[in-house]
Amino acid sequence: AVGGDGTVLSSTHYVDSQLRGRIVAPCGPVVLGVNSDPTKPHERSGGTDERRSYGALCYASANDMAKTLPRVLSGEADNDIQLRHRMAVTIRGTVSEMRLPPALNAVLVAPPSPAAVSRFRLERRPLAAASNTDAFSVTVWSSGIWLATPTGATAALASAGGNPNVDKKACQLQYIVRELLVGETNDADYVRRLSRGTVDHDHSLELRWNSQYGKVWIDGQHTSFPIELGDEVRFSSHAIPLRIFARSYCEE
């Protein structure tokens, strides 16, 4: 995927590797991101050029591709293939159910207009044979909700006040309700406490959309899906992991 982080994220939506039996490691394609327009060494003293991609998901760049690509093709770089957990997203309507592309980074659910208020019911539910201890259900008025994988925890979610210091190898999701509106009710503290948190592998987060219209954005603004009143959106960490060439976690 030659471009920037957005190009890499878009390309991962077309990679749905399969598992070999019960083995955790998936087989199939490996994504290689190449930053086509990296910051030049002589430009770094002048600050960051916001028009360029940061390249956090890119293993190579236009500066070193001639050296990196032979290592990849010969197998010398196989130790840099990492498994990244992804988010499974499903929209259930009145008569149909749609599985969205797996999200590597983050998902935003919000009204089409940024000035509109979103109303939804948020629930954390246990999956089969899981404990019901961490389950909850709460009605929310807000500007929408962010959800992120461990890979996306250092991007949009961190900017929204989330915890960027998560284990990128952990199979869990993090969520934050944006600009939460809480009325003068007895459960205000309860709603605020549940407006952010994590969802482990044994639970799913489910949202019933109670506004007229909304959208689900997957990994940025280019891939979105409409939702409407009564639709249910389910999020879990049960998507097939992605194999991607990546630098060490600490370098990202």
Q: Tens digits of per-residue pLDDT, 14-65?
A: 987 666 555 555 677 899 999 998 876 666 555 666 667 778 899 999 989 9
Confidence of residue 186 (pLDDT cuts 50, 70, 90): low
Its pTM surpasses 0.75: yes
Distance of alpha carbon 244 from alpha carbon 226, whole angstroms: 29
What 3-state class would DSSP assign to 158?
Answer: helix
Above 50 in pLDDT, residue 120?
A: yes
What token pair was written down for 207?
């949202």
Please state, as a whole number, how many other Cβ atoms lie within 10 Å of the Cβ of residue 249. 12
> Residue 117: how many CA atoms within 13 Å on its side-chain side?
7
Mean pLDDT of 194-216: 94
Confidence of residue 248 (pLDDT cuts 50, 70, 90): low
**pLDDT for res 18:** 62
Per residue in 17-41, is it b (16+ CB within 10 Å) or e — as a string?
beeeeeeeebeeebbbbbbbebbee
Mean pLDDT of 169-196: 84
**pLDDT for res 108:** 97
Q: Are 44 and 34 in contact (CB under 8 A)?
A: no
Confidence of residue 217 (pLDDT cuts 50, 70, 90): very high
Q: Are 178 and 160 in contact (CB under 8 A)?
A: yes
Please state, as a whole number, how many other Cβ atoms lie within 10 Å of the Cβ of residue 109. 24
175 Cα distance to chain centroid: 10
- Answer with the residue of higher pLDDT: 167 or 2: 2
| Helix H or strand E encompassing 105 | none
